[in-house]
Amino acid sequence: MRKPWGVGVLLAGLLLGACGDPESAPGDPAPAAPRASAPTRQPAPAASSSPAVSSSPAARPHRAPRVLYLGDSLAMENQKVLGRELRRDLRAEYTSAPYSGTTLCDYLEGTARRSLVPASDKAAALVRRLRPDVVVLQFWGNSWGYTPCMDGITHAKSPSRYFTRYAADARRLTEQIAAAGRGSGPRIVWVAQGPDPITPDRVRRVNALYARLAAASGALVADAGRAVSPVGDRYTWTRYLPCTAFERARPGFCTQPSRDRTALHRADDYLHFCLAPTTSRPKPCPVPSPGILRIAREITKTVRQSTR
């Protein structure tokens, strides 16, 4: 990055706090809950002459899958693009309910008074209400104590306590989703995160946790982070990657065609993939952003796999 890391961390903290993200300076009190829109439900496209894509249970071979998408600020900015990809490729009935600034404990039932997610939008509550076939969970791994449900536990203060708590919350969330499914619960897709330039080992361990939990519970992992990493260098952060053929064929997605490379991040935001300036009110990304499209396509590929 062009600036010293100390300055970069401070800038990132200020920026992310403004848009209600999971980042704030270590030791800072948690800010007020960010505003977020109600869950967005997008029905499957009308039936056409093309065959419907089947969902995983054999008893429902012709029904388009119902997909629920939960997560933090990365999910907030991704949600419209992911919905478009899922509807186009799988004819999915799609509901998104991301809240910026959150982490896994925010979506656990029993945390409403110390959470940035209201009781009606907890993961289990939404599963009971919507009966999804797939629940996609995209969480960067709040490590700065932004949300009060983490009880002040941060990666900076104690990495061991942070990972122990994060693993326990991931298991609880998996169990609550399964219980809400009443024996025929949805398949969970954990989204592996992209590189973290500040604490690269942290995101590596978070992704490994997702992989272990998926293997133990029959869930899947969408390695979306690999799609925004250099080839052969999975955990090295970069602002640019070579354009893909898919991006070259679509205006606005190969941002520097003369150099055959595309921007993943803005110069003032190392975490998010939306190329529009941040706003005080969290919202889906309003401009073409190659990183978001790459992530959405990888998630869609894994959801397709989960419904076979």
Q: State which amino acid sits at residue 252.
A: G
Q: What is the number of domains present in the chain?
A: 1
- For residue 138, the cross-strand partners are 71
Is 262 contained in some domain? Answer: no
| pLDDT for the residue numbered 16 | 40
Name the pTM for this structure: 0.84
d(CA 292, CA 80): 10
Q: Per-residue pLDDT for 9 more than 80?
A: no
**Domain of 87: which CATH number?**
3.40.50.1110
Is 39 contained in some domain? Answer: no
Rg of the chain (C-alpha set): 19
| pLDDT for the residue numbered 53 | 32
Q: Per-residue pLDDT for 38 more than 60?
A: no
Is 279 contained in some domain? Answer: no
Q: Per-residue pLDDT for 30 more than 60?
A: no
Is 135 contained in some domain? Answer: yes
- Which pLDDT tens digit goes with each residue over 193-229? 999 999 999 999 999 999 999 999 999 999 999 999 9
Average pLDDT value over all residues in the chain? 84
Pick from 185, 159, 160: nearest CA to 174: 185
Is 298 contained in some domain? Answer: yes
d(CA 176, CA 122): 10
d(CA 23, CA 30): 10
Rounded average pLDDT over 275-281: 90
Rounded average pLDDT over 145-165: 93
Is 9 contained in some domain? Answer: no
| pLDDT for the residue numbered 294 | 98
Is 157 contained in some domain? Answer: yes
Is 49 contained in some domain? Answer: no
| pLDDT for the residue numbered 63 | 79
| Domain assignment of residue 105, given as a range | 17-26+61-237+286-306
CB 92 within 8 A of CB 65: yes
Rounded average pLDDT over 132-158: 93
Among the ranges given (19-23, 243-247, 255-259, 274-278), the one the predictor scored with the smallest mean pLDDT: 19-23
- Which pLDDT tens digit goes with each residue over 119-139? 999 999 999 999 999 999 999
d(CA 269, CA 16): 8
DSSP structure class, residue 224: G
Q: Per-residue pLDDT for 61 more than 50?
A: no
Q: Which residues of 276-293 are buried (b: 16+ CB within 10 A; e: fewer)?
A: eebeeebbbbeebbbbbb
Q: Per-residue pLDDT for 28 more than 50?
A: no
- Which pLDDT tens digit goes with each residue over 160-185? 999 999 999 999 999 999 999 987 88
Name the pLDDT band for 43 (thresholds 50, 70, 90): low
Beta strand extents in 47-147 (DSSP E only): 66-71, 93-96, 134-138
What's the N-to-C CA distance of the chain in angstroms?
A: 42
Q: State which amino acid sits at residue 237.
A: W
